[in-house]
Structure formats: structure tokens, C-alpha cells
Structure 1
Amino acid sequence: MPRLPLPQRSLTYPEVGATARRPLPPGYEHLEAQAVLGRGERVFRDASERLSTWQLHRGAGLRVRASTPRAEQGSVVLLQWGRLFRAPCRVVEVELGLRLVGFAYGTLQGHPERGEERFAIEWRDDDAVLLTIAAFSRPATWWARLGAPVSRLVQRHLTGRYLRAL
């Protein structure tokens, strides 16, 4: 059976949008991380622009092929790391506030995991600008289940790279 084009693939989990709420859904591995990027409006605007245009992902060493130049509701993105890791995702939520900018994407058929990841840039009242990442995931394939400990290490490694990319 031929593989579906990315835009036609379905999300692989039912809890769409759950990274915006706490607690994260049960039955998944959870990941939450945060970094202070600096202070003030200029830092917030620069970081928001870089996040929205996939530069956070590129800066972390991923190859990004996206259906839109900016993360938009419904955008489809194929993230690649090295030759083996291919991760098709769809943007399921976008936030464009005065002091909060972010998006979440969910896994599509063909992704080795099932779940969602959210990236948010927040300009707090104390003038600090933070990058927050929240994710829930579990293996979607037999080989991902077999390599689950390695997958967790890779996810944590990539999260660290994201936090340093902006």
C-alpha cells in the first residue's frame, strides 16, 4: 500500500491540544522544560519570530520541511535528524498574544511516536522572557517500543538543543 502524502495523514492520538492544559494526559511519557532567554520586549519579539518561522528547530540541528513558512494552524512539517529520524507532524494549536506566542504540533501517521509537543515564548510581568516546552508521547511502532529507552534519551537531547537554540 503506498504511503499517504503528509497533508492527508491523520493525527495518531486523541488528546489533541492537551499540551496547553495540566496535568498532561496519563498513559504517556511527559516532558516539561523551560529556559530564560533574556529580558524585555526585543528579546520576546526576536524569540517569537524565530520560533514561529521554524528557526528553533533548525537551530537544534533538525532539517525542516514545512508546508508554510510560519507555524500556522494546520501546517504540516516533516522534521528530520540524521538519516533515521523522520517525524511528520501537524500544527494543532497556535497562540499569538501580546505576551505569549507559541504553537503545538501533533504526530501524524509515520511518526515513530504518538503525542504532542508545545513550544511557547512568554514575556512575564517581571520582564523575563521564557521558552517553555511541554510534551507527551509514547511509542507508535514496534521498533520504537523496542528502542523506547533510546527514544527518551533522544527526545531529552533534542529538548536541550531546543532550549539552547534561541
Structure 2
Amino acid sequence: MRRSNFQDQPVDYAAVGATQAHDLMQYPPEGFVPYEASIRLGSGAERFEAASTSLLTWAVQRGAGLRVDDVQASSDESYGGIRYAEDGSPLEAIHVSTEQRFAADGTPYVTSGTTARLHGRIGSLTVDEQIRVVYLVEETNVVAFAYGTVGGKRVSGEDAFRIERREDDSVWFQVRSFKRPLALRYRILRPLMVRRHKRLATAYLRALSPLWTGPAS
């Protein structure tokens, strides 16, 4: 078994949990580039439950072509995150469950504070990031979590994934992120940041909906 060299460190940006902010796309944290996309997955409780299980067992990242290694659960309740109101104002802290759960195949569920390494290639894009889960939401019709970068080299920021069952019984999958460029090429050529966002979001959405071909609203 390969020994993990991941150090238990906080994320490397200040706006932890801001992927929940209602006005993220209009007013991202200063210096960060935001992006969001969503797709309808189908409808009904069964589809919602299946998508939620996939989300919480890293199937989105693995389905996008990334490896998820060095996964380490944490009981650090300071990483529960903050719940935001519709107007973007922060509300109460999110309750953190420290109970470890497993999928039918033994895959551990995502928990707040979990650390991991994501690496691999998506097309010509190389991904190699240490990440930490900064919040987890499990409600009757919404399951979501986000992770932030730890010691980022190319980019710094947060990615969020949300499965929602709406009032019309439709099930939607949304990806949101905000990132600050660190690598020289991203700092000089800002459009490359948007391209990186889009390529990753497309791969994530296709992991749960393989026929998806472009952003949906």
C-alpha cells in the first residue's frame, strides 16, 4: 500500500463555502474567476437517491477521469461550512456529522473535513490537487458538498457539487466553482481560467449524464 504524504492543513483561500452564495457569479471573491453549469438528470426519488449516492462516493470525479487517492476522513468540525440565504448573506454553520458511512461496494462516503488527492488528465488538461471537503449538505431534496484546494500550485479555490430534487419532481445536477490563478499562464491569460472551468465542469456533468454536450441553465 502506498503511504500517504498528505498533511492535515487548512484550505489556501479565505472565502470558504462561498460556492453557496446566491450572487457568486455576479460578485465572486476578489481575484477569483467563477463558473457554474447544470443539467437535468431525470426525475423521481429513485433517480435522486442514485445520483446522491454517486456524488457522495466520488463517482463524479472518477467518472470524469480523475483518480481519487489518499482519502482521509476527519472529525474536525471546523470544516462544516456556512449556510447562505437566498440574498447571499451568511446564516448558521452547517451541522457536521462525524459518522462514517459506506456504499454497498464498501466505498466510504464523503464527510466534512475529508482530505484527498485528485489527479489525472481530462483531455489536454492536467489535474493534480490536494483538496479538503469544506462543507456537506444532506437534506430531504438536496445533497451537496464542496472541496477547496490545499497548497494549490496551478489554481486556488473551491468546487461544489449539488444534486437537487425540485418541486416538479425533476432531478438536477449543478457544478459551481471559483478559482484564483496561480500558475503564470493562467495569470497572464485569464480566458484560460474560464476554459479550465468549462472543461472540468463538462467532465463532471458527463460523469452522471454521459449524453450531456454543453452547459444548461
**Same fold, judged at TM 0.5 (above):** yes
Q: CA separation in 2, counterparts of 1:59 and 1:141?
A: 26
Match of 2:199 in 1: 157
Larger radius of gyration: 2
Q: State the AA in 1 paired with 2:44.
A: G
Give the share of equivalent positions with the same residue, in percent. Answer: 36
Report the more deviating stretch, 149-158 or 58-67: 149-158
Q: CA separation in 1, counterparts of 2:61 and 2:134?
A: 17
Cα distance, 1:159 vs structure 2: 0.6
* TM-score in terms of structure 1 length: 0.89
Provide, for residues 26-55 of structure 1, a one-character-per-residue CA deviation record: whole Å limited to 9, x for no partner: 321110111000000000000000000000
Change over 3 Å in CA distance of 1:131–1:111 after alignment to 2? farther
Q: CA separation in 2, counterparts of 1:32 and 1:77?
A: 23
Q: CA separation in 2, counterparts of 1:88 and 1:149?
A: 24
For structure 2, the 5+ residue unaligned runs are 74-107, 209-217
Query: Which of 178, 181, 198 is the equivalent residue of 1:136?
Result: 178
Q: CA separation in 1, counterparts of 2:11 and 2:35?
A: 20
Cα distance, 1:91 vs structure 2: 0.3
User: Over aligned residues, Cα RMSD in angstroms?
Assistant: 2.0
Change over 3 Å in CA distance of 1:81–1:149 after alignment to 2? farther
Cα distance, 1:157 vs structure 2: 1.1
For structure 1, the 5+ residue unaligned runs are none
Q: CA separation in 1, counterparts of 2:185 and 2:6?
A: 21
Q: Do structure 1's residue 20 and structure 2's residue 23 form an aligned pair?
A: no
Are the counterparts in 1 of residues 113 and 134 from structure 2 also a CA contact under 8 Å?
A: yes
Q: Do structure 1's residue 115 and structure 2's residue 157 form an aligned pair?
A: yes
Query: Which of 18, 42, 61 is the equivalent residue of 2:46?
Result: 42
Q: State the AA in 2 paired with 1:106.
A: G
Cα distance, 1:7 vs structure 2: 3.6
Q: CA separation in 2, counterparts of 1:7 and 1:44?
A: 35
Q: CA separation in 2, counterparts of 1:109 and 1:143?
A: 18
Are the counterparts in 2 of residues 37 and 131 from structure 1 also a CA contact under 8 Å?
A: yes
Q: Secondary structure at the match of 1:98?
A: coil
Q: Secondary structure at the match of 1:6?
A: coil
Q: CA separation in 2, counterparts of 1:85 and 1:98?
A: 33
Match of 2:116 in 1: 77
Q: CA separation in 1, counterparts of 2:13 and 2:204?
A: 23
Cα distance, 1:148 vs structure 2: 4.7
Q: Secondary structure at the match of 1:45?
A: helix
Q: State the AA in 2 paired with 1:74.
A: G
Are the counterparts in 1 of residues 63 and 207 from structure 2 also a CA contact under 8 Å?
A: yes
Q: CA separation in 1, counterparts of 2:199 and 2:119?
A: 14
